[in-house]
């Protein structure tokens, strides 16, 4: 039976690190000057690429760690620390929109724009990659739970896609300030979950 608490927790973590709301201003900036059809193609390609990257780490992330001799508890602890720092940056540092728009290059190639900076590092961010590896730990999560995580990730990416398509309307309603406020609230939630990951990793490593 699927625990709904785990489902909600997984959704909150992945929503925080993928940050669909924060993607809206980034998408608006990188697609400025493109027509609506081109924007839809960019949104679709960015969604496909980010999904592929995250699925790759979902499937082989733990295998790679084991092959290089890194215990998952150590990765969980370090990953929790990085997620915590990521959350602190969301709360106290630059917001996602301000930070990632600076990565935009003067390039008219729509495919390249979809891949960088939209798919990577905006959607499939380092925080999202770390989170997806931690949430599919074979020692702590059953195959059903891992499939559930993959489904939640897919759902969030679908929501992210539609938010990009509707980005002009959304941005008119919430503005950059609204996106920043939402990003900071999600950062606070993510910080508490990251702290829990750190404590669980230490507990597992020292067999407490």
> Mean per-residue pLDDT for 169-187?
79
**Residue 52 φ/ψ, nearest 5 degrees:** -60, -45
* CA nearest neighbour of 183 among 19, 2, 41: 19
- Of all residues in the chain, the percent with pLDDT exceeding 70 is 89
Query: How far is the CA of 144 from the CAs of 136, 170, 172, in angstroms?
Result: 10, 35, 40
In angstroms, the CA 58 to CA 75 distance is 14
Choice between 166 and 110, residue whose per-residue pLDDT is larger: 166
Q: What pLDDT is recorded for position 71?
A: 80
In angstroms, the CA 99 to CA 167 distance is 18
Residue 2 lies in a domain: no
What pLDDT, in 10s, does the model give residues 68-106? Answer: 887 878 877 887 888 788 788 778 875 555 555 555 444
Residue 1 lies in a domain: no
What pLDDT, in 10s, does the model give residues 96-146? Answer: 555 555 554 444 578 888 998 889 878 998 778 888 988 887 767 778 888
Residue 66 lies in a domain: yes
Residue 91 lies in a domain: yes
Residue 23 near residue 183 (C-beta atoms within 8 A): no
Residue 113 lies in a domain: yes
Domain housing 120: 9-205
Q: How many structural domains is the chain composed of? A: 1
């Amino acid at each position: 039976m699927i625990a709904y608490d785990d489902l909600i927790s997984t959704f909150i973590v992945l929503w925080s690190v993928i940050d669909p709301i924060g993607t809206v201003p980034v998408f608006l900036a990188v697609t400025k000057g493109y027509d609506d059809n081109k924007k839809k193609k960019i949104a679709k390609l960015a969604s496909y690429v980010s999904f592929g990257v995250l699925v790759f780490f979902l499937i082989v992330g733990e295998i790679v760690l084991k092959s290089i001799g890194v215990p998952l508890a150590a990765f969980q602890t370090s990953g929790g620390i990085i997620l915590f720092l990521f959350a602190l940056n969301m709360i106290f540092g630059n917001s996602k929109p301000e930070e990632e728009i600076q990565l935009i290059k003067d390039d008219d190639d729509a495919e390249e724009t979809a891949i960088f900076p939209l798919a990577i590092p905006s959607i499939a961010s380092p925080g999202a990659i770390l989170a997806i590896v931690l949430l599919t730990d074979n020692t702590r999560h059953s195959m059903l739970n891992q499939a559930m995580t993959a489904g939640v990730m897919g759902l969030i990416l679908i929501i992210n896609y539609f938010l990009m398509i509707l980005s002009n309307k959304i941005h008119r309603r919430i503005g950059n300030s609204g996106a920043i406020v939402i990003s900071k609230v999600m950062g606070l939630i993510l910080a508490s979950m990251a702290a829990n990951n750190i404590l669980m990793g230490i507990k597992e490593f020292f067999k407490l």
